[in-house]
Amino acid sequence: MRWQKLGLVYGPDGSMPWATSHAMVPTPIRLDPSTVRVFITSCDRHGIGRPGFVDVSASDPRRVLRVSDTPLLDLGIPGTFDENGLLTCSVIDLGDRHMYMYYVGFELGTKIRYRLLSGLAISTDGGESFQRQSSTPILERSASELFFRGGPYCLRGDDVFRLWYVAGSQWTELDGKAMPVYDVRYVESADGIHWPREGEVQIQVSKADEHGFGRPCVIAKPGGGYRMFYSIRRRSLGAYRMGYAESSDGRQWTRMDGRLGLDVTPGSFDSDAIMYAAPLDIDGVLYVFYNGNDFGRDGFAVARLESE
């Protein structure tokens, strides 16, 4: 694939206390014919994340139309799974101004660094605000997915909700620091709220230089089948690179990381890391919204597919 990087679209200017830095894990949906809403997570001065959004022009996704001035959801109450930050990973438009937002909650540990579990928030006003479906996770820890059940990305079918996510029960040490180990898994639900306690492994950590994956995004492929865009945690780099896979049914995947062709750019905001690609077809043109260094410290960017 050949992409044209179009540059950074948005990063916080520091004027809002809840969003002094970062625009992490961009998650676009088509809001209306002229507008794409990109859900993001920004950090306060303590590095704690809360979700917001940036509306961009569908005709030119580099042009910002509006930025949310308050967080869409605040921190959970002390002791809950999202007490120390929230990270939006997927949003589904259900119609009639209802939306589901799937997010990761951060819970700090004492003998492990943190735990990542997934929650659901619901909007009834077209994505202007959200309320928790529950104060407990929809993807709760289980024996085979003990520490991490995060990075949820959901597609709605005719009679089923399909969810790809990352999960694991291990840590590994890199340069003296404990780092998570998790692979990509898959579950289905009749209502998008109640999910199995464990998923089918879709893409495993199988290469010596990787120890995990970031939020997978799945879209239909022209002509049939599915595409998955995901991020790869690289041991040697201590940073993310992007990955790509294809499937005929969304359950059996063939990795084609080398085919993606979207990598770091020396001297740029994505010189050391590139991650969290989220694709969106806008009037027949495929774009990906993504982050660069330090998990989107400078904001999110967009690239356009020029040729396969």
Examine the pLDDT at 169 and tell me if it is beyond 90. yes
Task: Give the model confidence (pLDDT) of 175-219 as tens digits.
Answer: 889 999 999 999 999 999 999 999 999 999 988 899 999 999 999
Dihedral over alpha carbons 189, 246, 2, 26 (to 10 degrees): 20
Helix and strand counts by DSSP (H, E) for the chain: 2, 20
* Res 175: pLDDT: 87
Beta-carbon contacts of 113 under 8 Å, excluding residues fewer than 6 positions away, are: 171, 178
Count Cβ atoms below 10 Å from residue 220 Cβ, excluding itself: 12
Segment 113-164, tens digit of pLDDT: 999 999 999 999 999 999 999 999 999 999 999 999 999 999 998 899 999 9
pLDDT, one tens digit per residue, over 99-112 is: 999 999 999 999 99
pLDDT the model gives residue 16: 97
Residue type, 26: P
Residue-level pLDDT at 47: 95
- pLDDT (average), residues 6-32: 97
Average pLDDT of the chain, as a whole number: 96
Looking up tokens 């306690």 gives: 197
pLDDT exceeds 90 at position 237:
no
- Mean pLDDT for 40-53 is 97
Give pTM, 2 decimals. Answer: 0.96
Query: Which amino acid, 47?
Result: G
Q: Which ranges of the chain would DSSP assign to H, the alpha helix? A: 257-260, 293-296
User: What pLDDT score does 238 carry?
Assistant: 83
Confidence at residue 111, expressed as pLDDT on a 0 to 100 scale: 92
What per-residue confidence (pLDDT) applies to 67?
A: 98
Mean pLDDT of 40-45: 97
Ordered structural domains, the chain, with CATH: 2-307 (2.115.10.20)
For 12-31, b/e burial (b = at least 16 CB within 10 A) is beeebebbbbbbbbbbbbeb
* pLDDT at residue 158 in the model: 85
